[in-house]
Structure 1
Amino acid sequence: MGTISLRNKGEMYKWVTRGRVASQIGLALMWPWLGPVKRVQAQIAVDRIADQYQRLRSRKPRYDPTLIAHEDSDGTDDSCLARAWAAGFLDGEGYFGNPRQHVRKDGSIALRVRASATQHGEVGVPADVLMRMHKILGGRIERHGQPDDFKWVVEGSLNVRRVLEEVRPWLGHIKVAQGENALAAAAAIRIRGDSERCVRGHLYDGVRVKADGTVRQTCSACARITERERRMRTGSKPRRVRSPSGDPSRVYAYS
């Protein structure tokens, strides 16, 4: 139903229905999934057209759709429908990218990776479509700018990768490429100091449990570096080892 045309010098597409009958059918099919703001806009347009026809003499419609009998289709999983809807919303309003960067303790640059979508609603109340995105894909909703403007946000490589894989079957190739590029850029200069690695980028190789039950992961490489720095500050002799190692953290002689 409807037509798809190019806009903005071929960089964007537009779906549109033309004619009263086709537009009303399309609107009826979309109505259960429209938010209150779009429903109000649609109802105003429908009422305006209805008022126009009341002032005119009735005539036979120019378009009389032919109904073709067909077998009932198999039921579709509700979760698939929900993720397909989320993919369509992300195609039109979504963002995949690296919005910010920060400097690590060692002076290197780290990139953030994010998936988000913004929508206007009522003042102080997020739009229903954002609440639905949150229900389907998780994440959080935050104020974006104006009092009626809110944003659905997912951050972090693991979370963005999860969202991308959940909607990939229905997401357009442009948004898929944007998501992959954002993840690749973040991975190239990975944010260190997460649940698997210490701030220097080493894999944690030990676990300690405190008396209060708190679990703490430890890094032997960082412990050796810290011990070597302590010996240098205090003037102690470096540790002696029988054979050299290729691990920089195991080089104990002072330079």
Structure 2
Amino acid sequence: MGVVTDRRPVVRVREGARAARPDTLAVEEPLMVRLVGPAASPVGGTTPATGTSSGSEALTVTMRTPGDDFDLVAGWLVSEGAVGAPDDIVAMRLCPDEDNTVEVALARGVEPPRSRAFATTSACGVCGSDTVVEVRAGLRWPVASDPVTVGADVIASLPDLLRERQRAFDRTGGLHAAGLFTADGEPLYVREDVGRHNAVDKVVGAALRDGALPAAGTVLQVSGRASFELVQKAVRAGIPVLSAISAPSTLAVDLADECGLTLLGFVRGESMNVYTWADRVR
């Protein structure tokens, strides 16, 4: 588990008065993902192996909050369309010779995602598909046929249930969150990160590693807006309902409608907008 928060000096100004004090901030650091051959450590292990694997290939670099890094890598591989089951990942390990680096080995026959080995910001994920048609064509688990229905009262309760589980946000005010819930509002996985895309990848990765994908009959609640990338991550994980506190984008609505995802925005109190596949909301 990495360091999630750190302290920095700040001059606080309140009603004209100035005072020096420490402030707690969310940690943001790069994470490099490298593709290697099969390693000795099991997929769930965290003990670093010795030495650096030869023939490794850099897949991506993302800015993230340390912690749940294996979940983040697994979820990113799901969102890229590379994996769909725990056995697709042979092993993951923390690289002993490079800080903030995870090495991952994929099973024989699993096609790795194309390399995105350049730094990306935590605010803007890099989408592996350029069009709605391409995303729909690459789905492992079509969500349009998912028969789940969710009460509007359950949807309305999810932002508060998510907020109650944001421990690092309480100290920093600077982290996004994503949570996977049952149709009855029971939390399954909740993760935090400076990047909203990363928070979703951590949730999806945790589900993958538990053998819980496709996540049929579930609701993904996010703490910010709903972008194209978040809709893509949801449908590639087999999640039929995505609920956001803020607004969706036009392309997010188009993708959700095309793929059969129920997309909600502005979920605040007892009010909400249902943009697509509204019959799932009771």
TM-score where L is the length of structure 2: 0.22
Q: Which has the higher contact order (CA 8 A, sep 6+)?
A: 2
Structure richer in helix, relative to its length: 1
TM-score where L is the length of structure 1: 0.23
Structure richer in strand, relative to its length: 2
